[in-house]
């Protein structure tokens, strides 16, 4: 092909646009449950975090991922009693909303990797050699623990088992 032929060709890509749409957090069931849009991106999630979440929304999420109120309170770094004092429509403190959104993103990712939320819930409660006999759920009281669980999900997704 000569230079003239190249120059006369159109620079339009003939691939379907859908190939370039990133999933981001789109369609994420838990983020959507927290009030995010079906096609929530990082900016939408940031906005949702800053607006805060109500106690009612947080309790619905805890129920959906099968956490007891005590387990949920431990992850949120709030006492169960303090959490109970909030009215259902009260917006909780931003740090609790942020932690809940982090939890929602983790469960969305887990559902994606395992193909089923039920399988992921079982894995979250199963002791693992990777986590020195602890359950992945027990690590969620710190951001570093969240990172460890997310990293392990990445290894599972790519077939890298220890």
In this predicted model, what pLDDT tens digit does every residue of 111-156 receive, in sequence order? 999 999 999 999 999 999 999 999 999 999 999 999 999 999 999 9
Please check whether residue 61 lies inside any domain of the structure. yes
Please check whether residue 30 lies inside any domain of the structure. no
Write down the pLDDT at residue 129: 93
Q: Which residue range is the domain that position 80 belongs to?
A: 53-157
Distance CA 74, CA 101 (A): 15
In this predicted model, what pLDDT tens digit does every residue of 28-67 receive, in sequence order? 467 776 765 545 788 888 888 889 999 999 999 999 999 9
Please check whether residue 9 lies inside any domain of the structure. no
Please check whether residue 39 lies inside any domain of the structure. no
Please check whether residue 58 lies inside any domain of the structure. yes
Give me the number of domains the chain comprises: 1
How far is residue 39 CA from its own chain's centroid? 14
Sequence-separated contacts (24+) of 141-147 with Cβ below 8 Å: 141/74, 141/75, 141/77, 143/102, 146/102, 146/106
């Amino acid at each position: 092909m000569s230079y003239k032929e190249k120059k006369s060709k159109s620079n339009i890509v003939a691939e379907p646009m859908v190939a370039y749409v990133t999933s981001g957090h789109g369609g994420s069931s838990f983020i959507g449950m927290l009030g995010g849009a079906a096609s929530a991106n990082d900016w939408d999630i940031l906005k949702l975090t800053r607006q805060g979440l109500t106690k009612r929304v947080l309790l619905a999420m805890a129920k959906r991922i099968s956490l007891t109120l005590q387990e949920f309170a431990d992850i949120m770094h709030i006492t169960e009693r303090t959490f109970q004092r909030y009215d259902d429509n009260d917006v909780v403190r931003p740090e609790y909303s942020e932690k809940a959104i982090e939890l929602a993103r983790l469960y969305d990712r887990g559902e994606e990797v395992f193909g089923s939320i039920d399988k992921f819930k079982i894995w979250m409660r199963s002791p693992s050699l990777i986590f020195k006999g602890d359950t992945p759920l027990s690590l969620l009281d710190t951001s570093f623990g969240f990172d460890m669980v997310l990293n392990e999900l990445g290894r599972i997704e790519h077939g890298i088992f220890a």
